[in-house]
């Protein structure tokens, strides 16, 4: 039998169709198995855990067949209850698979302490970003007679003088005493000095 006749024979066509059927069935079973093992189409929406305690978050995640892991404690944020969840990953609304771990960070129990920087004889423009970078706030500013304008001469907290290196809570308001740049001799001072008798004059009497 020639090759052409064999390719057109019923036997060859039947075997070809059977082979195609087996391939299609294998592909179907493989895709079904993949979908089953990966829970294809069974996605879970991540809930918003913000401001929840770890116990509350655990109960919520258990209902959805999800888990959590505590990563860290962040600096105290007054907008969140103490020891409540501040950050989470994945974010709320994300679609995940069953048993996915949600990583969380919780709020601290209070503000951490920082050391007061040495701002004496620094300018006001230098002092502001330095305090801000440490988590402190600039409180009231007042001026006293001094030759250097806007130079920090003293720092206060709640009305009391504070020194560089002293520990205070973050978010504390540091009041700054600045020079007004107006100090100098006025005419009255000069006149008084000119009218004062000299040592030689007083000795002559």
Q: What is the pLDDT of residue 117?
A: 96
Per-residue model confidence as pLDDT tens digits over 36-67: 555 555 789 999 999 999 999 999 999 999 99
- For residues 159 and 68, give the distance between their C-alpha atoms in angstroms, rounded to a whole number: 46
- For residues 156 and 175, give the distance between their C-alpha atoms in angstroms, rounded to a whole number: 5
- For residues 188 and 183, give the distance between their C-alpha atoms in angstroms, rounded to a whole number: 14
Q: What is the pLDDT of residue 175?
A: 97
- When the pLDDT of each residue in the chain is averaged and rounded to a whole number, the result is 85
The H helix count followed by the E strand count for the chain is 6, 11
| Closest C-alpha to 171, from 135, 133, 147, 121 | 135
Compare 68 and 36 and report the one with higher pLDDT. 68
**What predicted TM-score, i.e. pTM, was given to this entire model?**
0.57
- Largest distance between two CA atoms of the chain: 154
pLDDT band at 1 (very low <50, low <70, confident <90, very high): low
Percent of the chain with pLDDT strictly greater than 90: 66
Per-residue model confidence as pLDDT tens digits over 135-192: 999 999 999 999 999 999 999 999 999 999 999 999 999 999 999 998 754 545 545 5
Helix (H) / strand (E) element for 148: namely none
Phi and psi, residue 107, nearest 5°: -75, 145
Q: What is the pLDDT of residue 182?
A: 86
Q: What is the pLDDT of residue 187?
A: 47
CA 100 to the chain's CA centroid: 24
């Amino acid at each position: 039998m020639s090759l052409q006749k064999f390719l057109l024979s019923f036997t060859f066509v039947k075997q070809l169709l059977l082979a195609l059927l087996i391939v299609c069935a294998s592909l179907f079973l493989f895709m079904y198995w993949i979908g089953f093992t990966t829970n294809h189409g069974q996605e879970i929406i991540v809930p918003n855990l913000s401001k929840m305690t770890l116990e509350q978050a655990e109960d919520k995640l258990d209902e959805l067949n999800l888990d959590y892991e505590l990563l860290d404690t962040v600096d105290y944020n007054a907008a969140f209850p103490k020891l409540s969840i501040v950050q989470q990953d994945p974010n709320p609304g994300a679609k995940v698979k069953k048993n996915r771990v949600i990583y969380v960070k919780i709020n601290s129990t209070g503000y951490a302490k920082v050391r007061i920087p040495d701002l004496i004889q620094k300018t006001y423009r230098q002092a502001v970003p330095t305090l801000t970078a440490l988590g402190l706030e600039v409180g009231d500013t007042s001026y006293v007679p001094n030759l250097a304008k806007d130079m920090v001469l003293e720092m206060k907290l709640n009305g009391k003088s504070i020194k560089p290196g002293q520990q205070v809570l973050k978010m504390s308001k540091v009041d700054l005493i600045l020079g007004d740049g107006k100090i100098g001799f006025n005419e009255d001072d000069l006149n008084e000095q000119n009218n004062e008798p000299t040592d030689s004059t007083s000795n002559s009497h």
